[in-house]
Structure 1
Amino acid sequence: MSTIETLLDEAGRTFADEAGIALEDKPAPLYRLLVLTVLLSSRIQAELGTAACRELVDAGMGTPEGMRDASWQDRVDALGRAHFRRQDEQTATALGEGAQLVLDEWGGDLRRMRKAADGDVGELRGFLTAVPRVGPVGTDIFLREVQAVWPEFRPHLDARALAGAGKLGLPTDPATLAEQVSGDDLARLAAALVRADRSADLRHDVEERS
């Protein structure tokens, strides 16, 4: 197999999927992706962020209404069950404030954000960074994942993904790299490349199998 085929086979699972989000262009899964984005923006291990997202959803906080109506302590407790203890109190506050913003600005439906951005990645970044604790890192996380269902934002292969590509000897030009897979596989490729950037063991396994 080629390097990319092997990489996708080894690590081609989106972070949304890892968090139990069946990503579709529908309000609830898109909101859950935003929650995951907030969690992963804390620069914790991805496994903790995805586990925390699962806990929040399981506790009824998988919609902006559910997140807003949950108590602050409910959010802290859900994060604690996932061992997400880095800045958990601030994160719990930010999640509540972010849910209220999604309801106030977008009627609880991020498809309205998509429509307002009208394919302009800069506009979308601006909307996303209005969400508490979502900065440049967070917008890249969201864009890497949402390109699976919002194809007008393809390809999104950010600096972290391209760093992984470089370490595997793959093209580091986004357009050239994107040509190596179908559009529907771009989100999986981006996630796999991020994992490759972080893990020397994964890179070794891919190189051994390719």
Structure 2
Amino acid sequence: MQTEQFKKNPVDFVAEQSGSYAFALGIDLNGLKSVEIYKWFLAALLYGARISEKIATHTWQAFKKHHVMSPRQVISAGWDGLVALLDEGGYTRYDFKTATKLLAVNQSLLSDYDGNLNQLHAAASDARDLERRIMASGKGVGKVTTQIFLREMRGRWRHAKPALSPLAWHAAEVMGYLAKHVENDARALEQLQIIWSNTNQAANKFPDFEAALVRYGLHLRHQDKRATQSITV
């Protein structure tokens, strides 16, 4: 498949939609530094709730402003301090539950992996075990949060192989990157990676393409909701 058949060249599409969520937050995952990976993990914990992307981003920025960017800093903030940070970011609907989850998850990371997510990855035997270990880090860390986190570690961690997001899949179909009859998400992901490789982009930049598709997928979903509301009214 040639890029000329697409509605937009993948590189131009990424430039239009913006790249990875981690990059947008100022996080550099390329060097695989533990401190940077943790920053993204904290963001994924916030993005994983049923709350708007904007609120989750504002909340992560509140944590950054108050220098709560490591497992030990989260523990030191305490439950009341975490609730205050979550409220500052607008995360009020889930503040109590999320504060409790953050304390449990970070205590688990410190106890099991010395707070280093690279150690967690090194301990995993394969992709499935990696996902299991992440979800075992605390109650409330489910498949959605795990996939959000691992999506941007794809091409960086050997075992980071999450399923393609349905949002990205739908957006890829709308943009012409995928045909409607692709049989499963593994095949869809493989085709998208080939398309990205054909634009002479590095494999560790594929998360930029995937994130751009997720963003556009969210846009399409919001459009569908507005259309449904209009019909209802």
Match in the other structure for 1:30: 37
Match in the other structure for 2:66: 59
- Which has the greater radius of gyration? 2
Q: Say whether residues 1:184 and 2:204 are aligned partners.
A: yes
Residue 8 of structure 1, aligned match among 9, 14, 17: 14
Q: Say whether residues 1:87 and 2:94 are aligned partners.
A: yes
* CA–CA distance in structure 1, aligned partners of residues 120 and 160 of structure 2: 13
Given residue 165 of structure 1, which amino acid in structure 2 is its aligned partner? A
* Structure 1 contact 164–197 (Cα < 8 Å) conserved: yes
Secondary structure of 2:50 counterpart: coil
Q: Say whether residues 1:163 and 2:170 are aligned partners.
A: yes
Moved more, 102-111 or 55-64: 55-64
Match in the other structure for 2:25: 19
Match in the other structure for 2:78: 71
Task: Count residues in correspondence.
Answer: 202
* Structure 1 contact 155–186 (Cα < 8 Å) conserved: no
Taking structure 2 as the reference length, what is the TM-score of the superposition? 0.79
Given residue 121 of structure 2, which amino acid in structure 1 is its aligned partner? R
Taking structure 1 as the reference length, what is the TM-score of the superposition? 0.87
Provide structure 2 residue ranges, at least 5 long, that are not aligned to the other structure: 183-187, 224-233
* CA–CA distance in structure 1, aligned partners of residues 62 and 155 of structure 2: 24
Moved more, 100-109 or 72-81: 72-81
* CA–CA distance in structure 2, aligned partners of residues 29 and 156 of structure 1: 23
* Structure 1 contact 60–67 (Cα < 8 Å) conserved: no
- Percent identical across equivalent pairs? 26
Secondary structure of 1:66 counterpart: helix
Deviations along 1:132-165, one digit per CA (max 9) or x if unpaired, are 3211111110111112532553586333321221
* CA–CA distance in structure 2, aligned partners of residues 201 and 121 of structure 1: 29
* Structure 1 contact 167–197 (Cα < 8 Å) conserved: no
CA pair 201-43 structure 1, distance change in 2 beyond 3 A: closer
RMSD across aligned positions (CA):
2.3
Q: How far is 1:7 from its partner?
A: 1.4
* Structure 1 contact 76–88 (Cα < 8 Å) conserved: yes
Secondary structure of 1:65 counterpart: helix
Deviations along 1:162-190, one digit per CA (max 9) or x if unpaired, are 12212222226110111111312211111
* Structure 2 contact 83–95 (Cα < 8 Å) conserved: yes
* Structure 1 contact 196–202 (Cα < 8 Å) conserved: no
Q: Say whether residues 1:98 and 2:105 are aligned partners.
A: yes
* CA–CA distance in structure 2, aligned partners of residues 201 and 3 of structure 1: 22
* CA–CA distance in structure 1, aligned partners of residues 205 and 135 of structure 2: 26
Match in the other structure for 2:151: 144
Deviations along 1:66-116, one digit per CA (max 9) or x if unpaired, are 001112121111111111222111111111111101000111111111111
* CA–CA distance in structure 2, aligned partners of residues 12 and 96 of structure 1: 32
Deviations along 1:16-64, one digit per CA (max 9) or x if unpaired, are 1223322241221111211111111102111211221121122121010
